[in-house]
Chains A and B, each alone.
Chain A
Amino acid sequence: MSDKIRVLLAKAGLDGHDRGIKVIAAAMRDAGFEVIYTGLRQTPEMIAEAALQEDVDAIGVSILSGAHMTLFPLIYKAMEARKCTDIILFGGGIMTEEEMVILHSQGTDKLFGPGTPTPDIIAYVKDVVARKRKSEKII
């Protein structure tokens, strides 16, 4: 397997606001990641299945429609059903810090709010994937 970080980026639910995720996709590609962008209107099952098939290190999901409290936990459940919760689930959107804490307790590793610098997100993914790979080697 190549050392390159593989990330699946997805838009979940009905939300069509894809400016942010496309910027993230371009930035990650420029940072040397292999980026798979699903496009719009993915169901939780579609996202988990694509992540499994594409053998990615992480899934990044963007939701700006207000449906995050419903959709993130459903995506994690769909990952559990496919036994692929070793893949890191992260995301971004319009949400409060309290909501981020709740979603973290339900399986989403990290959430980024509006105004997050792109390099912070890239640094986070590099770091979290490095730690994951290290722990996998130990096992």
Chain B
Amino acid sequence: MAEIKNQSAASDQQFEDALKKAHREWKAAADRSANAKKKYVTVSSAPIDPLYTPEHVKDMDFFRDLNFPGEFPYTRGVHASMYRGKPWTMRQFSGMGTPEQTNERYHYLLSQGQHGLSVAFDLPTLMGYDSDHPRSLGEVGKCGVAVDTLLDMEKIFDGIDLAKISTSMTINAPAAILLAMYIVVAEKQGVSMDKLSGTLQNDILKEYIAQKEWIYPPEPSVQLIVDTIEFGTKHMPLWNTISISGYHIREAGSTAAQELAFTLADGFTYIEKSIERGLDVDDFAPRLSFFFSAHMDFFEEIAKYRAARRIYAKRMRDKYGAKNPRSWMLRFHTQTAGCSLNAQQPELNLVRTALEGLSAVLGGTQSLHTNAMDETLALPSDKAALLALRTQQVLAHETGVVNTIDPLGGSYFVEALTSRIEAEAEAYFDEIDRRGGVMACIEEGYLQRELARAAYIYQQEIDSKERIIVGVNDYVLENEKIEIPILVIDPEVEAKQCASIKKAKSIRNDKRVAETLEELRQACRDNKNRMPFLINCVREYCTLGEMCLAMQDVFGDYVEPPII
């Protein structure tokens, strides 16, 4: 036995020597013909080796670092059968103009084979303003659907059975209010909240970091999120209470490693705040979900998703003491990167989106949104929206990617990249901790500066043509004329919404409105869970703006110092 072991050690040594020698010889040959001037970097400006070999993964341990799908640390996927068991959910984010117009688009998408809904709200709704507020001027219905009262939510979901369809709502600062509205709409359909499935984005930290749609200061905002986590844990077993989002961080210019690190750091902050509230990590963690971007660097993205699962599983088990395997699993939605799309030769965006979608699927996403080709010009037209959905259907049915789980697992390159991104994220966690945590980093502007710096480097690479973007800084068509249909939002939307608010105000009981709003204010002062109070306000047709203001009376507002 000892002899066999020695022999095997000797052959290991022989193999390593042979490998090193072969590597030297290959490098000498490659260096003679490679373009030494060009920098080879990922879309995150991270340098990449020309070749990956067993040397790059020599520290990897199969069971510790990869294991089987559905097994800790889930590097290869959270489910044992992955897409053979359940295909990813095709969920196209959409919403525009009036609630009626959005309802029409939803019926259309569902009739074309989409699995679930994903609501895009307009900016006034995202910021907690009613459509008739002076600050809403020009913004109503422009980048999503306008919602002012329960009346609008009833129209959006008219004829859609909320017991059967899952809905994702992209809303953050006023997320608790929209969840309350959704619950009451379902209640009116006769569907109780324990039957509702879907996801509330509800991630305010990434708003301070990247998308900048907040109302209150960070601390009360996070407490409001803990309210929804607590409420959902008790009453909505099928609901994802939060979608901790890297997408917007990436869109704001981050690298892949920053996207991963800042998103997970945000997630850990919510987990810590929920534990502080007295919740048991295994009660709420199984309903936490994540949301990442799929950018153009195919392999880097796949490595990012794999690293995300591994980091999360380890932290949840080892740092937060979660015992339920479901608490260890990082489940995520992916959207292809809007910032990778271009206004020039917009049909090329179909190609970009297909490649990005493929990386998300190879990375084991649970659901996917593929962007429409016209998104740098306007909200998607019907045709562009349909093509985007069809792109996913081609991926699912024609390419064979659903057949095999984690097909790139074991690739020297992808494994090395997975470990490298994990290490980069860990370094950011240390830096964030050193600076006092995510909330302190936000108030100090550290995370915002990191993003701005990465975005500037990326743009400089494009301006200097170190990075080629087809149709933008090379292969440009002179005097290009855009020849795809553009969706125009009817300027009448604003007037229609204002009329709808008037109508709601004429049918409601003003006394009950005032009472429920005051009860909400009191719940904010007493730091009670705000969800039941919001549900009462919604039932009385309080407007979104009224509810936001009532809470602002107690919480105050927040202004970010301008950071370049």
Contact = CB atoms under 8 A, between A and B. Distances in A.
Contact of B139 (A13, A18, A27, A39): A13
Contacts of A27: 456, 459-460, 463
Nearest to A14: B123
Contacts of A16: 207, 211-213
A97 B344 CA distance: 13
B343 interface: yes
Contact of A66 (B126, B142, B460, B472): B142
A30 to B, nearest CB: 9
B463 A117 contact: yes
B560 interface: yes
B463 A22 contact: no
B211 A17 contact: yes
B37 to A, nearest CB: 22
A130 interface: no
A111 interface: no
B498 to A, nearest CB: 15
B139 A40 contact: no
A27 B457 CA distance: 10
Interface string B327-354: 0000000000001001110000000000
Interface residues of A, number: 34
A118 B139 contact: no
A76 B554 CA distance: 37
The main secondary structure of chain B at its interface with chain A is loop
Interface in B236-261: 251-253
A16 B339 CA distance: 15
A78 B52 CA distance: 60
Contacts of A67: 123, 137-139, 142
Interface in A1-60: 13-19, 22-23, 25-27, 29, 35, 37-40, 43
A65 B213 CA distance: 12
User: Is the interface on chain B under 10, 10 to 19, 20 to 34, or 35 or more residues?
Assistant: 35 or more
A18 to B, nearest CB: 6
B377 A22 contact: no
Contacts of B136: 14
B486 interface: yes
Contacts of B472: 115
A115 B143 CA distance: 20
Interface in B122-138: 123-124, 126-127, 129, 135-138
A94 interface: yes
Interface in B518-564: 559-564
B452 interface: yes
B562 A37 contact: yes
Given A70-B139, A115-B342, 9 more contacts: A13-B138, A14-B127, A16-B207, A19-B455, A22-B564, A66-B138, A97-B482, A115-B469, A117-B463
Interface of A: 13-19, 22-23, 25-27, 29, 35, 37-40, 43, 65-67, 69-71, 94, 96-97, 113-115, 117-119
17 contacts: A13-B138, A14-B124, A14-B126, A16-B212, A27-B463, A37-B564, A39-B559, A65-B139, A66-B143, A67-B138, A70-B137, A114-B376, A115-B342, A115-B343, A115-B472, A117-B473, A118-B460
Closest 10 CB pairs of A and B: A70-B138, A16-B212, A66-B142, A39-B562, A67-B138, A14-B123, A114-B343, A25-B564, A115-B472, A22-B452
